[in-house]
Structure 1
Amino acid sequence: MNQPTAIEVISVSKSFGTYQALNSVSFIIGSNEFFTMLGPSGCGKTTLLRMLAGFESPDGGSILLNGREVIDVPPHRRRVNTVFQSYALFPHMTLEQNVAYGLENLGWDQARIRRRVGEMLERVHMGPMARRKPAQLSGGQRQRIALARALAPEPEVLLLDEPLSALDLKLRQAMRNELRTLQRDTGITFVFVTHDQEEALDMSDRIAVLGGGEVQQIGTPTQIYEEPVNRFVADFVGETNFLDVEVLETAPGQATVRTPFGVVLTAPATGRAAGDRATLSIRPEKINLGDQAQGIAFTGRITDKNYMGGYTHYTLDVAGTALRASRRNASREGDTIPLGATVPVGFVAGAARVLAA
């Protein structure tokens, strides 16, 4: 990573009674980066976020903010602000009073506060509503005010704890665009927590996938989706087919395997040896059907199909093994492969990955 470091988490652990929430977690977040912690409930991502904010203390390890140890620094002394899922706006205050509140606590003079509040309300497109109260707003509008309030003091880091989860689908998609734009315009480091893989892939510069209190993988959205390092990551991020395979031989960065339906192929792999049992992961959209089949070729029978607008999702029986495939509906008529049809099936070997069993 070439940019300066904003946050460094070093061997951080945390237990709640007998429950190990975090186990020696380490990672670096770059300055001006949109960094997402992604994982299922209970994986430790919110605990980590609360530690960055100063609301929780680790049992061991270090947390550095711009090179300074902050474990013993109280929340109000850190240049870190948090946007919560519940927005946490003051219902009795107007929107401009909500945004001004933190600045008043910091001792800013009134003229500077007025300028900054006006700037922030305009930045989130809420200037004309400055005199309204939170109860008069939609969920998306309240989210914008929570962002304006958190960004107003010019924090070094903005923490976002599943801030879009209470919004409907269309509004979530719109707010994702707004968050990306805000982060780029302000240049502030954003640390975003979510269990939603689509949100993480859409917005992030880099993603840390957490599972079982540990970092499973860190990488760009493309790396996380296309090059998962283990079965947990491949399974949690997106949809995939898992095939139990036998490793026949290996070479640097790849392995030749035999699939349950007899096809032999060579795919990217790490840490495998001849004779190992392993798992082959292949995404449904990488599997081509009918006249689009190419690469590793075989046949399969369509046992189920689901039309989803832009795509049709198929389930195939390949010599007793179930495979899922997705086919883009490029024409107005959509896909016309009927149930029960036996069709050519194919995929490029490089699109699959050999993982530990």
Structure 2
Amino acid sequence: MSRQTAVEVINVSKSFGSYQALRSVEFKIRENEFFTMLGPSGCGKTTLLRMIAGFESPDSGSLLLQGRDIVDIPPHKRRVNTVFQSYALFPHMTLAQNVAFGLENLGWEKARITARVGEMLERVHMSAFANRKPDQLSGGQRQRIALARALAAEPEVLLLDEPLSALDLKLRQAMRDELRTLQRDTGITFVFVTHDQEEALDMSDRIAVLGGGEVQQLGTPSEIYEEPSNRFVADFVGETNFVEVEVLEATDTSATVRTPFGPVITAPSSTRMGQGKATLSIRPEKLNLGDQVQGVGFQADVVNKHYLGGYTHYQLAVGGVEIRASRRNASREGDAIAVGSSVHVGFVENAARVLAA
């Protein structure tokens, strides 16, 4: 049985002066889903989040929450809460008072507020800090209190505006796990905005990749990464090699192309390609080297390499183009391919993707 729709964005457009931030954007967010809007600065993701929260209005189009049009409903009357990048905690209040603040404004009874505050502080592992002030906390602890405050009022949707960007790397990684666990435990729909592709791939049920004010692709993390619909998505999400190829023939789902490596290959494509120039996208980790070669094979010269512990990244030259390959160092002697040598390279055709030029 399919899940109900929590949020529906219908043909939404928005301009700020001569700058068009959003162009006829449409998608649905399901109930109890961890949904991420991913894209570079200026792509429209934060504008969309602010529209769902009620801080911005679309120039045209509709926004539905649980099937109800909310465009004309003020922010405080929407069952939507936001966790901001800055956390926005009240510095003069204790943590317990911060969490209670919204519930008091909603007119909850005192006993119910006390119970809910205790429950939320326990959920985010902050019960022992209830009487502290925000300036006595680390960044990660402030983040937890901001989450507890936003979740306390049992919103239908929780909006998260790049909430991990101010944290250091290890804390960001730990908070990812905590956010995902919170989402699963509460069953609340999370709408997460980030420019960090790793965060998006790690936490999301589905991702909307935005670029130029439009949804470039909507799909699961594996669909976005393994089956990019266009060059923008392939380039923005993860690393990839772009190689110019010539399309010889094509169907709706694949294209046979001549590569500069030598072999003619047939690889998946997102749209039917006409004959002529196209772009082959192949992720560095999909290229096998030396004794690991599978599928289509060719020789390449090793121009440079970078040892990064678990992996070594190689820069290769073949057929007048340079490509990058990543090889996992499974043993201490894993980095045995020398700069200046010739190496056998291969990849499975289904691991590549033919995109419009």
Q: Normalization by structure 2: what TM-score?
A: 0.99
| Residues 279 and 355 in structure 2, CA contact (< 8 A), matched pair in contact too | yes
SS at match of 2:163: coil
**Structure 2 counterpart of 1:261, one-letter code:** F
CA distance in 2, matches of 1:307, 1:167: 27
CA distance in 1, matches of 2:253, 2:219: 18
Which residue is equivalent to 2:209?
209
Which residue is equivalent to 1:316?
316
Which residue is equivalent to 1:355?
355
Percent identity over the alignment? 78
**Structure 1 counterpart of 2:149, one-letter code:** R
| Residues 262 and 298 in structure 2, CA contact (< 8 A), matched pair in contact too | no
Which residue is equivalent to 2:6?
6
* Deviation string, structure 1 residues 43-75 (Cα, Å, up to 9, x no partner): 000000000000000000000000000000000
Which residue is equivalent to 2:69?
69
CA distance in 2, matches of 1:251, 1:120: 54
| Residues 272 and 356 in structure 1, CA contact (< 8 A), matched pair in contact too | no
* Deviation string, structure 1 residues 176-204 (Cα, Å, up to 9, x no partner): 00000000000000000000000000000
Range with bigger deviation, 302-311 or 194-203: 302-311
Which residue is equivalent to 1:45?
45
Q: How do residues 167-246 of structure 1 correspond to structure 2 at under 5 angstroms? A: 167-246=167-246
Which residue is equivalent to 2:338?
338
- Alpha-carbon offset, residue 276 of structure 1: 2.3
SS at match of 2:223: helix
SS at match of 1:181: helix
CA distance in 2, matches of 1:239, 1:174: 24
* Change in 2 beyond 3 A, CA 1:134/1:32: same
**Structure 2 counterpart of 1:166, one-letter code:** A
**Structure 2 counterpart of 1:125, one-letter code:** H
**Structure 1 counterpart of 2:226, one-letter code:** E
Which residue is equivalent to 2:32?
32
- Alpha-carbon offset, residue 16 of structure 1: 0.2
CA distance in 2, matches of 1:103, 1:286: 51
Which residue is equivalent to 2:164?
164
CA distance in 2, matches of 1:52, 1:88: 19
- Alpha-carbon offset, residue 249 of structure 1: 0.8
* Deviation string, structure 1 residues 110-131 (Cα, Å, up to 9, x no partner): 1000000000000000000000
CA distance in 1, matches of 2:12, 2:221: 24
| Residues 201 and 221 in structure 1, CA contact (< 8 A), matched pair in contact too | yes
* Deviation string, structure 1 residues 57-110 (Cα, Å, up to 9, x no partner): 000000000000000000000000000000000001000000000000000011
CA distance in 1, matches of 2:319, 2:225: 28
Q: Unaligned 5+ residue runs, structure 1?
A: none
Which residue is equivalent to 1:97?
97
* Deviation string, structure 1 residues 201-246 (Cα, Å, up to 9, x no partner): 0000000000000000000000000000000000000000001111
Runs of 4 or more off by more than 6 Å in structure 1? none
| Residues 34 and 204 in structure 1, CA contact (< 8 A), matched pair in contact too | yes
CA distance in 2, matches of 1:353, 1:295: 15
* Change in 2 beyond 3 A, CA 1:235/1:117: same
| Residues 12 and 22 in structure 1, CA contact (< 8 A), matched pair in contact too | yes
Q: Unaligned 5+ residue runs, structure 2?
A: none
- Alpha-carbon offset, residue 274 of structure 1: 4.6
SS at match of 1:144: helix
**Structure 2 counterpart of 1:109, one-letter code:** E
CA distance in 2, matches of 1:228, 1:319: 25
Which residue is equivalent to 1:262?
262
SS at match of 1:208: strand
SS at match of 2:46: helix
Which residue is equivalent to 1:295?
295
SS at match of 1:20: strand
Q: Normalization by structure 1: what TM-score?
A: 0.99
CA distance in 2, matches of 1:273, 1:199: 32
The number of residues matched between the two structures is: 357
| Residues 116 and 152 in structure 1, CA contact (< 8 A), matched pair in contact too | yes
Which residue is equivalent to 1:79?
79
CA distance in 1, matches of 2:282, 2:7: 35
